[in-house]
Structure 1
Amino acid sequence: MDQEPSRIRRHDNLIRVEVVTTAEQLLDAHAIRAICFMEENGVSARQTYDGNDYQATHIIVYAGDEPIGTARIRWFKDFAKMERTSFRKTWRDPRVIKRCAEFIFEHISRKGYDCVITHAKPLHARLWRRMLGFMPAPGKDPLYFEGHDEPYVELVKHLTPPENAITPSSDAAILFRIEGHWDVHSEFEVVGS
């Protein structure tokens, strides 16, 4: 049973956003996507799981221990692509969505990227523009997919990488650490040798 979204206003600490690093978290992310894409929107399993899941970074959102949302990030030369964003119906709250998006933007910019794109149907594109600061991609035509009644619009958001963005000059130990946990020494890292 879903916890009520109204509870997050009183207990924001119930919501946590994480980079998927375990098989259980990935199963949770795939379950959310199945609910939202396949059950709610009638998207086929083959289109929902399109072959890009093994090359992507997955994000999972929990309310307590209950998975409530997910997104995936794919990495290209000069930009990251945020996609497959989905939340269970009772958790489609602007505060939850914004918290997830901000986590994703921080993750992308920490990796040194200053541009993220996404594709959304017109209704969601308006939401991403108003709530998350995306802008329409200049010169891009809407894209139609089989089985979808509306086109997808390409959106762009520019980010400012932080001072500690990961670059070729970053400490080598950082490059061995778990995705998203770059500031935490790994259990195998010899410290102070």
Structure 2
Amino acid sequence: MLISENITLGITFFATPLRVAQLSPVGLARAQSGLGDISMADCSKQAPLKQDCLRVVPVSGWDDLMKVMAIRSAVYMGEGGRSYLHEFDGNDHHATHILALVDDEPAGCCRIRYFGDFAKPERLAVLPKFRRGRYGKRGVPYEIASYAFSFCAKKGFRTIYGHAVEHLVSFWARFGTSPMPDGSFDIEGYRCVAMSGSLSVPNDAIHIDSGHLVLVRREGHWDEPGVLEGLEHSAGA
């Protein structure tokens, strides 16, 4: 279903209401499959790139982080009217940031923070021009959320937690979460619901025995040899 500008959904596990796509139901298994760069179209084989060339990647450099901040500024501050201090709350340097790109153009993002035995996806935002079509298989918001849940499971987290704007509870329920008892509360004039759910940790999830060099690989790219492994071979040559 294509986006209707008349459909208003709040989207942040979570925060200010934004206008985004109405999504089809999905299963938790789909949300937890795969990791690394999720490519909904094979960008490497398309020249010129097509409009449905969507990639979702973990941020690993300042350039991508600036793209995330630009998206959130446009969406939450520009559209939502949120203040700078409320949006940039001091937690961005303690989190993993996820970036969605359409034809290499910044399209959406989210943030994940970690607390002991659970992870908290939040601040999901999608720019207006990428809400009016189904990029990827199910749209930018779905693909970002799917990647975030998969990412947390790959890191070994078995519990997910977040805050959903009240009328978006059904969206996040499609990823296996449900409202917590006595979980309703207000943030900036919006009724929110605390939600939680279980993740199925994959067999290749990261753990203390994953390998010494695996544990120093680039975040989200644990299946790819890191630069230190190249240095190790050079030193032993």
What TM-score does the superposition give when structure 2 sets the normalisation length? 0.71
CA offsets, 1:6-39, max 9 Å, x none? xx89x68610000000101000001111111101
Please tell me the root mean square deviation across aligned C-alpha atoms, in Å. 2.2
Counterpart check, 1:22 vs 2:64: no
Q: How far apart, CA to CA, are the structure 2 residues paired with 1:82 and 1:60?
A: 13
Find the counterpart in structure 2 of residue 136 from structure 1. 179
Q: How far apart, CA to CA, are the structure 2 residues paired with 1:186 and 1:34?
A: 33
1:23-62 correspondence to structure 2 within 5 Å: 23-62=62-101
Q: Give unpaired runs (5+ residues) of structure 2.
A: 1-19, 21-39, 42-49
SS state of the match for residue 139, structure 2? helix
Find the counterpart in structure 2 of residue 156 from structure 1. 196
Find the counterpart in structure 2 of residue 120 from structure 1. 164
Q: Quickly say closer, same or farther: Cα 1:167–1:185, change in 2 above 3 A.
A: same
Name the count of aligned residue pairs: 182
CA offsets, 1:20-74, max 9 Å, x none? 0010100000111111110111110001000000000000001011111000000
Are the equivalent residues in 1 in contact too, given 2:108–2:125 (CA < 8 A)? yes
Find the counterpart in structure 2 of residue 76 from structure 1. 115
Q: Quickly say closer, same or farther: Cα 1:141–1:134, change in 2 above 3 A.
A: closer
Find the counterpart in structure 1 of residue 104 from structure 2. 65
Are the equivalent residues in 1 in contact too, given 2:183–2:195 (CA < 8 A)? no
What is the CA-CA distance between 1:188 and the residue it aligns to? 2.3
CA offsets, 1:138-165, max 9 Å, x none? x2332222xx222211111211111011
SS state of the match for residue 105, structure 1? helix
Larger displacement relative to structure 2 (51-60 or 82-91) = 82-91
What is the CA-CA distance between 1:95 and the residue it aligns to? 2.6
Q: How far apart, CA to CA, are the structure 1 residues paired with 2:152 and 2:214?
A: 16
What TM-score does the superposition give when structure 1 sets the normalisation length? 0.86
Larger displacement relative to structure 2 (154-163 or 48-57) = 154-163
Q: Give unpaired runs (5+ residues) of structure 1.
A: none
Find the counterpart in structure 1 of residue 9 from structure 2. none
Higher strand proportion, which one?
2
SS state of the match for residue 144, structure 1? strand
Q: How far apart, CA to CA, are the structure 1 residues paired with 2:198 and 2:80?
A: 30
Higher helix proportion, which one?
1
Letter in 2 for 1:15: L
Q: How far apart, CA to CA, are the structure 1 residues paired with 2:162 and 2:142?
A: 15
Find the counterpart in structure 2 of residue 165 from structure 1. 205
CA offsets, 1:74-98, max 9 Å, x none? 0111100000111112323553222
Specify which structure has the bigger relative contact order, considering alpha-carbon pairs within 8 angstroms and separated by 6 or more residues.
2
Identity %: 32
Letter in 1 for 2:72: R
Moved over 6 A (4+): none
